[in-house]
Amino acid sequence: MVKDEDIGKVMEILRANVPPHPYKSREPFKVLIATVISQRTKDEVTYTVAEKLFGKYPLPRDLKNAPTDDIAHLIYPAGFYKQKAKKIKEIAKIIDEDYDGKVPDNLEELLKLPGVGRKTANIVLSRCYDKDVIAVDTHVHRISNRLGWVNTKTPEETERELMKVLLKKYWKDINELLVMFGRTICRPVAPKCDVCPIKKYCKYYKENKKG
């Protein structure tokens, strides 16, 4: 059984050691579209092309009326940029016409948008609307299992189990902290366990690296 005090200590250490998320915007539409662009795309590419896109088309009604080819050109070299351009245009149209230009602030409505899954929806809800939700991507899924907080096979399972294990005050922060930590220290392959500041609390380290 994971102890609340151990989780609290891990969160405290991560907050002191993990660099802040590079994308500073808290505007729901920008965060939503940037998160769609980020799928299978490196951070530095995502945020560079997102700013280019919003520099030309800042509002849902602007993107709704933008040529799909121009959207694709602006977000290149993001992965699957042509498919994402179509989804971005569709999302902008729905938000402008069905939601009066405002991104929905609830999970059910966000999940109706094309290309938006639970991770993307929960990032918008936590980062922009201060909702107590847990956004689980591959980093959160992997690190939560390595720490021994959960024993799960899918991000959906991880989200459910983390809601049982984590105090609600940690829910909003867990994505940004573990994503940045997963990119720098707790990598998918060859994690840097020797310099990990939370190895004392890590099941993976104790079972695979210690001694």
* Residue 20: per-residue pLDDT: 85
* Residue 211: per-residue pLDDT: 58
Torsion-angle region of residue 115: left (phi > 0), alpha (psi -120 to 50) or beta? left
Sorted by sequence, the CB contacts under 8 Å of residue 210 that are 6+ apart come out as 199
- 195 HSE (CA, 13 A, CB side): 10
Show pLDDT as tens, one digit a residue, over the chain (211 residues): 788 999 999 999 999 999 888 788 899 999 999 999 999 998 889 999 999 999 999 999 999 999 999 999 999 999 999 999 999 999 999 999 999 999 999 999 999 999 999 999 999 999 999 999 999 999 999 999 999 999 999 999 999 999 999 999 999 999 999 999 999 999 999 999 999 999 999 999 999 976 5
Complete domains list, the chain, with CATH: 4-20+134-208 (1.10.1670.10), 28-129 (1.10.340.30)
* Residue 24: per-residue pLDDT: 82
Instruction: Indicate the burial class of 183 (C-beta count within 10 angstroms; 0-12, 13-18, 19 or more).
Output: middle
Q: Measured between alpha carbons, how far is 107 from 32 in angstroms, rounded to an integer?
A: 13
pTM of the predicted protein model: 0.93
Residues annotated in a binding site for [4Fe-4S] cluster: 186, 193, 196, 202
* Residue 2: per-residue pLDDT: 85
Can you give the length of the chain in residues? Answer: 211
* Residue 1: per-residue pLDDT: 74
- The pLDDT tens digits for 101-140 are 999 999 999 999 999 999 999 999 999 999 999 999 999 9
Residues annotated in a binding site: 186, 193, 196, 202
* Residue 210: per-residue pLDDT: 66
* Residue 78: per-residue pLDDT: 96
By the 8 A CB rule, do 124 and 31 touch?
Answer: yes
* Residue 200: per-residue pLDDT: 96
CA distances from 179 to 60, 70, 119, 140 (A): 28, 30, 12, 6
First to last CA, the chain: 23
CA distances from 56 to 35, 65, 66 (A): 18, 12, 9
- The pLDDT tens digits for 30-46 are 999 999 999 999 888 99
* Residue 43: per-residue pLDDT: 85
User: Tokens 């809601």 correspond to what residue?
Assistant: 163
Q: Measured between alpha carbons, how far is 15 from 190 in angstroms, rounded to an integer?
A: 23
